[in-house]
Amino acid sequence: METIDFRNMTITIVGLGMEGGSYAIAAKNYLKPKKLFAIDINEDVLIAAEKLKVIDQGFVNPVVPLQASDLVILCVYPSDVIRFVRDNMTYFKSGAVLTDAAGVKRKIVDDLSNIIREDIDFVPGHPMAGNEFKGFLYADKKIFEGNSYLITPTSKNKQQSLSLIESMALKFGCSKIYITDPDTHDTKIAYASQLMHLIASSIVNCDSYTDDMKNFVGGSFRSATRVANINPDLWTDAFFENKDKLLEQIDYFMSNITLVKSALIHHDKKVLHTFFEKSYHKSNSHDDL
């Protein structure tokens, strides 16, 4: 893969929440660009990031940084990625590479492919990184370390642009780059990420979740419910942007719950034992997950 030198580049992060802040800190430390800008609607966050020297300058109005930026990283909600690019299309620097960090891909790729200028390149990306917290104060460059970075290229992407995003991810400490298509991405994410957040939230929202629960739980409960500490705005947006794929996964999950419920009602130990035996063998065959 081509080695990319970021030191002569101007980079702009759009959205300085937990994820955007993590990108900014990682870029400052590992890419060392000539200039690092951020765009956010919250001026206080931008001031804080400037004082902490995470960014060189923050902007509420996107015109100036976009006109100067070689790389623009969109760290906003999935529906806002489309809106931001569309509303600011005339301001992007000719030759700029755009990428995103959104957890769903089909709608973003489809919508932007129809409106993106010929002289800029949008490379859809998604780091399998993050934490359960919301806001810039929880930004951490370490969230990328050891995790995969997913890219869903389009037919319009230049190889140099793909190499740029791959190089950035590897410099951030990601363990591997995984190339896939938007449909596969959204199907897998519905199962591996969105369904897990739904299950965790459902457990916590049960009436059984009482103040004294801490006296009865162990590591399995804490692991299963950690991601219930959720950003409601982000995940509501993400669920609706990928609702067809998530509904499929909910149906698969509910069929398993129904099977277990029926086995218990009918005192069918063989069915329940087979169910657990199947999960035991499948989980042991994927120890590298």
Query: What is the model's pLDDT at position 47?
Result: 97
Are 24 and 48 within 8 A, CB to CB? Answer: no
AA identity, residue 203: I
Q: pTM of this prediction? A: 0.91
Give the chain's domains with CATH numbers: 10-180 (3.40.50.720), 184-284 (1.10.3660.10)
Other beta carbons less than 10 A from residue 287's beta carbon:
6
AA identity, residue 283: S
- Cα separation, 50 vs 96, in Å, equals 24
Tell me the CB-side half-sphere exposure of residue 201, using CA atoms within 13 A.
13
What are 157's two structure tokens? 């992407």
AA identity, residue 192: A
Query: What is the model's pLDDT at position 146?
Result: 94
- Cα separation, 161 vs 72, in Å, equals 12
pLDDT digits (tens, 9 = 90+) for 192-205: 999 999 999 999 99
- Cα separation, 265 vs 274, in Å, equals 16
Query: What is the model's pLDDT at position 226?
Result: 87
- Cα separation, 188 vs 117, in Å, equals 30
pLDDT digits (tens, 9 = 90+) for 123-176: 999 999 876 667 898 889 999 999 999 999 999 999 999 999 999 999 999 999
Mean pLDDT per 10-residue interval, the chain, length 289 residues: 85 96 96 97 96 97 98 95 96 98 96 94 93 81 94 95 96 96 97 95 92 88 88 92 97 97 97 96 76
